[in-house]
Amino acid sequence: MAESPFKAEIERVQKEYSEKMTPGAIAVIPGSSVVNKTGSWRVFMPEFNRDKCVRCYLCYIYCPEPAIYLDEENYPVFDYDYCKGCGICANECPVDAITMVREVK
Amino acid sequence: MPIRKVMKANEAAAWAAKLAKPKVIAAFPITPSTLVPEKISEFVADGELDAEFIKVESEHSAISACVGASAAGVRTFTATASQGLALMHEILFIAAGMRLPIVIAVGNRALSAPINIWNDWQDTISERDTGWLQFYAENNQEALDLILIAFKVAEDERVLLPAMVGFDAFILTHTVEPVEIPDQELVDEFLGEYVPKHAYLDPSRPITQGTLAFPAHYMEARYTVWEANENAKKVIDEAFAEFEKRFGRKYQKIEEYRTDDAEIIFVTMGSLAGTVKEYVDMLREKGVKVGVAKLTVYRPFPTEEVRELAKKAKVLALLEKNVTFSVGGALFQDFSRALINEKEKPVIVDFILGLGGRDVTFKDLDEALGIAQKALAGEEFDEVNWIGLRKEIL
Ligand code: SF4
Ligand code: SF4
C-alpha cells in the first residue's frame, strides 16, 4: 500500500486527539476500506465450485462490492475480506457454481 | 445609518440572513415561513447576497443540505415551521451532535392533526431535546436581531451548536411593523466571517464527520453537547451585551417587566409577552401587583435566572402555547425542575392557552389571573388549566 500523502498531518492530529474526544465526534483518522475490511459482518459466504464454472463472469459483473476478481486462468476468486455475503453472485450464476453456506468460525 | 422599513417578521428574518451572509441557504416552502426563503431567493437572484440557494424537495432535504454545507465549513441558514420542522427532526439531532452552527428561522405553528397553520409553540418545543439552542422573538425587530445573535452564539468556539429562532405564525410572520435594519458593516464586525474550527473540508486534513460511535464513545459525545449547551449560557450573555453595545437594543435570557414587588408573575414567551405586558399595565393601574417575565432563551434553559425570578414572586403563572402530556406545558416541567430543590419557592400554576392560533384575550388572562389569585390566597387550585377551552362543544 502506498504511503498517504497526508501522513504528517494525520500523525499530528492522531497525537493531538489520541486520548480526547474531538468536537462533533469527528474521526481525525479517517477510516478507509483499505484498512477497514467490510466483510467482517457476513453471515453467509459464497462457496465456489471451480468444476462447474463456465467463466461467464456474471458473478464478477454483479458483485456490488466488488469482491470478485479473476485469477490467471480467468476463474473468479472471492475476496472474503470484502465479500458481504449478499448472495447476488450465487443468484446470478447460471450453472449453480456458487452456493451460499452459513459462515462458521 | 441603519434604515427603518415596515416589514413582516418573515422579511425581517430574510434580512437577518442577508446581513449574516450565509454561503448556503437550503429551504422548502411551508406556511407560514414560506416568505423567508422566497425573499432570500430574491436577494440571491438580485446579486445582493452571494450565496448558493438550494431548492430542495422536502424539509428533511433542506436541513440535510444545511448539514452538508455546514460540515464543509460555511455559514448556513434555513427557515421552516411546524410539520416541516418535525420532518427535520432526525437531522436536527445530527446537526447538534456534529456541532454544526446552522441557524433556522421558525414561524412557530401548531402541529397536525387536525391540520392547523396558525400559531402555537408546539413545533419548536417538541425539538427542545435535540441539542439546538432556542430563542423566541416577541416582535419583528427581535426576529431580526435574535437571528444575528443566534449566529454569533452558535459559531462561538465554546458552543458550536445549531440554533433556532422562533417567531409566532401570522401574529408576527405576516404582520407588518417598523423594523430597524442595522448597518452591514456593524453586522460584519459583530459576526465576523465564519471560520470553521472543527468541521470543514480540506484535502490536506482528511477527516470523517458524522461517524459511528461505539458504546465506549457515544456517551461522551452526548455529554459534550450537554456541556456546549451549558457553555452557551455565558456566551449568550456576552453576545447580548455586545449586541446592545453595537446596536443599542437590550436582550436578556429572561426579560422582566414590572416584576419588582409583584406577587404574581406571568411567565411567557414570544408575541404573547407583548399582550401580557399591556394586560399587566392595566392591572397595575388598578393596584394589582403583577408582572411579566419573558423567556427570550428557552434552550439552554436559564435555570439560574429562573431561580432569581422565583425569589421575587409568590405565584408564577406560566402561560404556554404547547402541551406536554400528563405534565401540562413544557415550561411547567422546566420551571418545576429548576425550583424543586430550592428551599423557598413560589407556587407554580400552569396555563395552556392560545393553541392553534386561538386568540388570547384579556378575558382569558382574567381567567388565568383569577386562578393565580386563588393560589396566592392559599385556596385550592388546579396545577394545569386550559384557558379559553370551549367545554360546551366537547
Ligand atoms: S456474496 Fe455478494 S459480495 Fe460476496 S462475492 Fe457474492 S455478490 Fe459479491
Ligand atoms: S457466474 Fe458462475 S459460471 Fe459465471 S463465472 Fe461466475 S461462477 Fe463461473
Tens-place pLDDT, residues A11-39: 776 677 667 788 888 887 776 666 667 78
- A79 lies in the same domain as A30: no
Looking at this protein, which amino acid is placed at residue B344?
A: E
- B279 lies in the same domain as B383: yes
- A30 lies in the same domain as A49: no
- B166 lies in the same domain as B289: no
Residue identifier of the C-alpha nearest atom 8 of ligand 1 = A63
| Residue B82 in grid coordinates | 411546524
Which one of B205, B209, B220 has the shortest CB-CB distance to A24? B209
Whether A2 has a pLDDT exceeding 60, the answer reads: no
- Domain harbouring A98, CATH code: 3.30.70.20
Number of domains making up chain A: 2
Among the candidates B227, B247, B267, a domain finishes at B247
Contact B208 A30 (CB under 8 A): yes
- B186 lies in the same domain as B329: no
pLDDT in tens, A35-87: 667 788 899 999 999 999 999 999 999 999 989 999 999 999 999 999 999 99
- B34 lies in the same domain as B50: yes
Domain containing residue B95: 3-247
CA distance B168 to B152: 22
**Chain A residue set in contact with B, beta carbons under 8 Å:** 6, 9-10, 13, 21-28, 30-31
Q: How many CB atoms lie within 10 A of CB B131?
A: 22
- A32 lies in the same domain as A68: no
Q: What is the pLDDT of residue A4?
A: 62
Which one of B97, B207, B220 has the shortest CB-CB distance to A30? B207
Among the candidates B203, B222, B247, a domain finishes at B247
pLDDT band at A6 (very low <50, low <70, confident <90, very high): low
pLDDT in tens, B44-102: 999 999 999 999 999 999 999 999 999 999 999 999 999 999 999 999 999 999 999 99
Ligand 1 pocket check: which of A37, A38, A43, A84 to mutate, most ligand atoms within 8 Å of Cβ? A84
Whether A105 has a pLDDT exceeding 80, the answer reads: no
- A50 lies in the same domain as A73: yes
Give chain B's residues under pLDDT 50. none
Q: What is the pLDDT of residue B372?
A: 98
Domain containing residue A76: 37-104
- A31 lies in the same domain as A54: no
Residue B150 gets which letter from DSSP?
H
Antiparallel, parallel or unpaired: β A68-70 and A76-78: antiparallel
**Of residues B94 and A5, which shows the higher confidence score?**
B94
- B229 lies in the same domain as B313: no
Nearest residue on chain A to B97, alpha-carbon basis: A24
Any atom of ligand 2 within 6 Å of the Cβ of A95: yes
- A47 lies in the same domain as A97: yes
Give the CA-trace dihedral at A16, A17, A21, A25, to 10 degrees. Answer: 110
Distance from CA of B99 to the nearest CA of A (A): 5
- A15 lies in the same domain as A46: no
Q: What is the pLDDT of residue A22?
A: 85
- A72 lies in the same domain as A99: yes
- B200 lies in the same domain as B284: no
Q: Is B73 on the interface with A (CB under 8 A)?
A: no
Which one of A13, A21, A30 has the shortest CB-CB distance to B221? A21
Among the candidates B247, B268, B284, a domain finishes at B247
- B266 lies in the same domain as B336: yes
ipTM higher than 0.85?
no
Which one of B198, B204, B221 has the shortest CB-CB distance to A6? B204
Place of cell 459511528: B212
CA distance A96 to A37: 27
Mutating which of A21, A32, A38 best tests the B interface, going by the most B Cβ atoms within 10 A?
A21
CA distance B122 to B322: 5
- B289 lies in the same domain as B189: no
- B116 lies in the same domain as B174: yes
- A80 lies in the same domain as A49: yes
Any atom of ligand 1 within 6 Å of the Cβ of A83: yes
- A4 lies in the same domain as A54: no
- Domain harbouring B240, CATH code: 3.40.50.970
C-alpha to C-alpha distances, B385 to B66, B77, B210, B262, B319, nearest whole angstrom: 40, 37, 43, 22, 10
Percent of chain B with pLDDT over 90: 95
Contact B198 A27 (CB under 8 A): no
Contact A28 B220 (CB under 8 A): no
- B380 lies in the same domain as B283: yes
- B15 lies in the same domain as B163: yes
Residue identifier of the C-alpha nearest atom 8 of ligand 2 = A53
CA distance B94 to B134: 16
- Domain harbouring B330, CATH code: 3.40.50.920
Number of domains making up chain B: 2
Q: What is the pLDDT of residue A1?
A: 43
Whether A89 has a pLDDT exceeding 70, the answer reads: yes
| Residue B137 in grid coordinates | 422573538
- A59 lies in the same domain as A99: yes
CA atoms within 13 A of residue B15's CA, in its CB half-sphere: 25
Looking at this protein, which amino acid is placed at residue B251?
A: Y
Answer yes or no: are the C-beta atoms of B94 and B210 closer than 8 Å.
Answer: yes
Nearest residue on chain A to B161, alpha-carbon basis: A24
Q: What is the pLDDT of residue B217?
A: 87
Residue B178: exposure state from Cβ atoms within 10 A (0-12, 13-18, ≥19): exposed
- B212 lies in the same domain as B278: no
Antiparallel, parallel or unpaired: β B103-108 and B163-168: parallel
- A60 lies in the same domain as A48: yes
Ligand 2 pocket check: which of A47, A48, A49, A59 to mutate, most ligand atoms within 8 Å of Cβ? A59
